[in-house]
Structure 1
Amino acid sequence: MQRQLTLDLGTPPPATFDNFFAAGNHELITRLRELEGALAAGPVADRTFYVWGEPGSGRSHLLQALTHEADGHARYLSPQSALNAFGFDPRVSLYAVDDCDRLSAAQQIALFNLFNEVRAHPTSALVATGNDAPLALTVREDLRTRLGWGLVFHLQPLTDEVKASVLKHAARERGIVLADDVPAYLLTHYRRDMPSLMALLDELDRFSLEQKRAVTRALLLTMLQRTGRAAPLAFVPTEESSAEPAGPAVAPAAPDNDPTRFK
């Protein structure tokens, strides 16, 4: 029988610009951080943005950071939003539209209209995201054209070194000390996208507190065995882990495409 983890230790920290690892995306981060202040200060030449990148690149994180730090004058929109949420409101200065390539036909029409309203009101701005560059987007032609009108940024993927830094930073935010070999081990043996890595880190955090043990590679292996999670593709015993059998290996789990703030 699989063992259930029942500890509820709260939610992860909110998505902010400070806890987004910019890597090669510094210009985009700077523009988004300054966008609300620029709108309040006067006319802004560039008020529509389209940001694209592979799943796990941080698109949703950036939009949530934008709305989180916008002092109540921003609206986050996604395929899960109600159709009437895409209506223009002069009290909203920033519209953040996630996964625009997954919007329904009706939502795409509403976004097209919203885009035109934003262009007509110099005190508002719109930032949209998707998986592909504008030319490759599978959306209405008129919407695709509009999304390519403004500034277009490609989120540069994170290197393994930066991913390891993200995991260590997230661990510190949760008040845990991550053994140096844990991030490298995860990147070597498991799915490498940040949503999957962060989900595993959260589970490891809960398990370590339940077990009252430090977060080490040995603890990671124990958690995976006891919870029925996928075992690593290969296991090399160490002094720390030699006392804990690895158990039979199983195939890695299917990719997790659930949307998270690291998408």
Structure 2
Amino acid sequence: MSRQLLLDVLPAPAPTLGNYIAGPNGAALAAARSLKTGQALYLWGPAGCGRSHLLRGLADQPGGAYLQADQDARDFLALAQADPQAELPTLVAVDDVHRMDEARQSALFALYNRWRESAATGRAFALAVAGDRAPLSMPLREDLRTRLGWGLVFRLDPLSDADKLAALSAQAAERGLQLAPEVLNWMLTHHERDIRKLSALLDALDRYSLAQRRAITLPLLRAMLADPETQTP
């Protein structure tokens, strides 16, 4: 097996509702899972709380569409102003609304209006939006701030270290790996603390262990990270 792992570009697992580690955010995950056409959901919280993961997980489902705050405003307007007979997504996810400029805010405002007008019709779609703060605290135009609170609103909290350790332990167990507590603790305290990047590190460690035909230990983890063949040029 090749030892060329290219750690720096190793993709993290694609975000889905299934691999979202809820921690203290179980109610928000449940709301996302049960979101139906005609309903709206707003998620807010600090960086690293998992709001983008939830939105991407929602949009990954059949009929989903994912839009970022820095996309062309015409992408939003294409949905908001689409012909009534046009086939539209059944769910639209809009991320990082706190970064929207005036043109994109106007386009999102129009999309909210389209969502409300169609909510009780056969053309209804679900709308899931996320930002870094509560609706009324958003640095957005007043009429858009009001619309952010039209549906369910959930604050997301970052995972605690205990949640991350539990998540890594569960992922290791699914792979049939026996990881000593010192390995997990080292990963958490010496690597990036984003859970998806930690999951990618665990995947790399599994591959490296197989390539080296050695059990996973702290010295093996350190050797992998120091090995020039596991780094990008």
Fold similarity call, TM over 0.5? yes
Unaligned ranges ≥5, structure 2: none
Shift of 1:156: 2.6
Among all aligned residue pairs of Structure 1 and Structure 2, give the percentage whose two residues are the same amino acid.
42
User: What is the CA deviation profile of residues 111-162 of structure 1, one whole-angstrom value per residue up to 9, with x for unaligned ones?
Assistant: 1111111111112221111122223322333322221332210113222221
Residue 116 of structure 1: aligned partner: 113
Unaligned ranges ≥5, structure 1: 230-263
The one-letter code of the counterpart of 1:111 is L
- Alpha-carbon contact 1:55-1:193 (below 8 Å) kept: no
Shift of 1:217: 1.6
- The answer to whether structure 1 residue 81 and structure 2 residue 78 are counterparts is no
Q: In structure 2, do the counterparts of structure 1 residues 55 and 194 end up closer, same or farther at CA, with 3 Å as the change threshold?
A: farther
**TM-score, normalisation: structure 1:** 0.69
Q: In structure 2, do the counterparts of structure 1 residues 115 and 188 end up closer, same or farther at CA, with 3 Å as the change threshold?
A: same
Shift of 1:95: 0.8
- Alpha-carbon contact 1:51-1:128 (below 8 Å) kept: yes
Which of 77, 91, 94 is matched with 2:91 structurally?
94
Aligned-partner Cα distance in 1 for 2:72–2:137: 26
- Alpha-carbon contact 1:78-1:103 (below 8 Å) kept: no
- Alpha-carbon contact 1:78-1:98 (below 8 Å) kept: yes
The one-letter code of the counterpart of 1:103 is M
- Alpha-carbon contact 2:187-2:198 (below 8 Å) kept: yes
Aligned-partner Cα distance in 1 for 2:190–2:44: 27
- Alpha-carbon contact 2:4-2:229 (below 8 Å) kept: no
Shift of 1:192: 2.9
Shift of 1:165: 2.1
Aligned-partner Cα distance in 2 for 1:96–1:215: 39
- The answer to whether structure 1 residue 197 and structure 2 residue 189 are counterparts is no
Residues 49-88 of structure 1 correspond to what in structure 2 (within 5 A)?
Answer: 49-69=41-61, 71=62, 73-86=63-76, 87-88=78-79
Aligned-partner Cα distance in 2 for 1:102–1:119: 23
Residue 20 of structure 1: aligned partner: 20
- Alpha-carbon contact 1:56-1:195 (below 8 Å) kept: no
The one-letter code of the counterpart of 2:52 is S
Q: SS at 1:75's partner residue?
A: strand
Residue 244 of structure 1: aligned partner: none
Which structure dedicates a bigger proportion of its chain to helix? 2
Q: In structure 2, do the counterparts of structure 1 residues 18 and 196 end up closer, same or farther at CA, with 3 Å as the change threshold?
A: closer
- Alpha-carbon contact 1:53-1:155 (below 8 Å) kept: yes
Residue 249 of structure 1: aligned partner: none
Q: SS at 1:25's partner residue?
A: helix
Shift of 1:184: 2.0
Residue 141 of structure 2: aligned partner: 140
Aligned-partner Cα distance in 1 for 2:103–2:172: 41
Residues 23-38 of structure 1 correspond to what in structure 2 (within 5 A)?
Answer: 23-36=23-36
Higher relative contact order (CA 8 A, sep 6+): 2
- Alpha-carbon contact 1:52-1:59 (below 8 Å) kept: yes
Aligned-partner Cα distance in 1 for 2:68–2:23: 25
Aligned-partner Cα distance in 1 for 2:227–2:4: 9
Shift of 1:191: 4.0
Q: In structure 2, do the counterparts of structure 1 residues 192 and 10 end up closer, same or farther at CA, with 3 Å as the change threshold?
A: closer
- Alpha-carbon contact 1:16-1:62 (below 8 Å) kept: yes
The one-letter code of the counterpart of 2:31 is R
Shift of 1:32: 1.7
- Alpha-carbon contact 2:95-2:130 (below 8 Å) kept: yes
**TM-score, normalisation: structure 2:** 0.77
Aligned-partner Cα distance in 2 for 1:66–1:157: 19
Shift of 1:207: 3.3
